[in-house]
Chain A
Amino acid sequence: MEQKYYKIHNTDLYIIEDFTGEIEIQEVIEEVEQTVSPNFLEGIESIVISQYPQKGRLLEGNTLYIRNDFYCEELLTEEIILAVGDFIYNNLLDERKEDISKYFLFKRAKLFDEYSKNYNKKASLHEFLDDEEDSVYVNNLNNIDFEDMIFLTQKYFGNYESSLSLKNYVSNSFHLYVTESLNKKYDKKISKLFDNLKEEHYEEKY
């Protein structure tokens, strides 16, 4: 097919290969534009829709690659917002990343507390204290009932995926932030990070 070209705010959107399902792209563009303010997309040169990458999504330089195997506008919108969250994570200053990492690990420690008290499972704290994706943490969670695992991760991280790594935490929290679903009690720090980023862009501009 011939590539299709659109804009999301000021970012180029290329559809290189058609979607597997019937997607109304204009609906997705409008939803992303209404949900994510333009300054969060600053620096993202292009979003490319195709069969690439093999799995998941990918950020290379200033280009976001998103797969074309979507059937639902809602899920494609979510994927684009998460990809913008990946870009934010990649461009965080080391100092800020470190700060958020501490907060992420603090949450993991809280989760561990509840995990070890309520589910009586053998695990040690250090198995929960890694901000990279780690199979030991996943295996520990898999030792409890599925519903409990979803409940626990939702309580501290908003959702399961968000709890898997610092990168996932930032991108998923960004999605929850822009859709106004962040838990105010548990997510003050990360909300403040996004508020500040928004504010900084605003100050740079005006």
Chain B
Amino acid sequence: MKKNIKINEQENTVTIEVSVAKRNYAKEPIISFHTKDIALLLEKEGIKVETCVENDSIYNDGRNPKTNGKWTFALQKEKNKQIKKPEIVKEEKVLTTESKSATLSKKPKKRK
């Protein structure tokens, strides 16, 4: 497994590119890396992350293995404030019609 980690202090993010070797023989282990594995890998490298901004997954198995992947995570900030349990106003029938959430942030995302 090869990895390349880049920290962007201005955007408070970390980008990691990981590649695994293709399997050539049946005796070689099958392995895949998903977002949680990569977050764990960063933790082992001493980098604490909060949430995944750009998602990916890689695997060395099958006819068309995907052996290179790129993930971007937001770096962990200091959290002091206590989060309170939200209060819900129970709704009866009317569902929200707008499907898209109103957000300010427009970070790039990658979907498979």
Contacts and interface: CB of A to CB of B under 8 A. Distances in A.
Interface of A: 1, 3-7, 12, 14-27, 46, 48, 50-54, 65, 69-75, 142, 146-147, 150-151, 154-155, 159-161
Interface in B10-51: 29-37, 40-41, 44, 50-51
Given A4-B96, A5-B96, A151-B29, A160 B105 contact: no
Interface string B71-112: 000000001001111101111001110111111011101111
B53 A161 contact: no
B50 A146 contact: no
B91 A20 contact: no
Question: Looking at chain B, what size class is its interface with the partner chain?
Answer: 35 or more
A119 to B, nearest CB: 13
A142 B89 contact: no
B37 A150 contact: yes
Nearest to B33: A150
B99 A21 contact: no
A40 B94 CA distance: 24
B76 to A, nearest CB: 11
18 contacts: A1-B102, A6-B95, A20-B103, A22-B101, A22-B109, A25-B101, A27-B99, A48-B88, A52-B84, A72-B111, A75-B35, A75-B52, A146-B44, A150-B37, A154-B31, A159-B34, A159-B37, A161-B36
